[in-house]
Amino acid sequence: MPTQNPVHQLNGRDRSQPYRWLRIVLFGRNPKVTLVRLAVLVAICFIVFKFVLLHIRVEGISMLPTYQDQSAHFVNRLAYLWHGPQRGDVVCIRLAGIHLMYLKRVIGLPGETVAFANGRVLINGEALEEPYEKLPCDWNRPPEKLGADEYFVVGDNRSMPEELHTFGKAERSRIVGKTFK
């Protein structure tokens, strides 16, 4: 019967490598495979956050109550790869450069006529049902015809005075993507 060294054996386990379990937890049983997995994960994260998802922070109250001031969200840049924005989508619109963008809701599609009458949105003369619109509005704007590549965008907080609110036509080329709620 072999003699047991109390320093190396404790409760039947080999203690000659006391931190072997830590190495396995951190690097796996095969460190080379773990490093390859880590490199692939870093590459995927780089691609996703550089080209697919855009991190934005809402500044201002024009999208209340749907999006709070100073809240953070992601914009999916690939959302409109196969189709254009749909009515009701909340989109990110590039103004100048890559750092200044607006977050607005699409209410008018290409070729439509958009107007406001006593706070109601009229699309081609018919009232638009807007379940996301929670605040009262009293805007009045004459009909505006959209071009073949234009969308009409506006914020959800229409209780703001019309003069303080940025809204109107947005060309398709300026729409970056659709937000995740």
Rounded CA gap, 137 and 121, in Å?
10
Question: Residue type at 101?
Answer: M
**Strand partners of residue 122:** 115, 127
* Domain spans, the chain: 10-51, 58-179
pLDDT at 10: 52
Closest CA relative to residue 89, chosen from 59, 69, 109: 109
Third-level CATH fold of 58-179 = Umud Fragment, subunit A (2.10.109)
pLDDT in tens, 118-143: 989 999 999 999 988 888 888 999 99
* Whether the Cβ atoms of residue 114 and residue 140 lie closer than 8 Å to each other: no
Cα angle at 90 between 84 and 94, to 5 degrees?
A: 75
The pTM assigned to this predicted structure is 0.77
Residues with a known catalytic role: 62, 104
| Encoded tokens for 97 | 């450069």
pLDDT at 98: 65
Q: Are strands 72-76 and 113-117 parallel, antiparallel or unpaired?
A: unpaired
Rounded CA gap, 161 and 60, in Å?
14
pLDDT at 45: 93
Cα angle at 120 between 57 and 149, to 5 degrees?
A: 60
Residues of the chain under the 50 pLDDT cut: none
Q: What is the dihedral of CA 178, 131, 100, 61, to 10 degrees?
A: -150
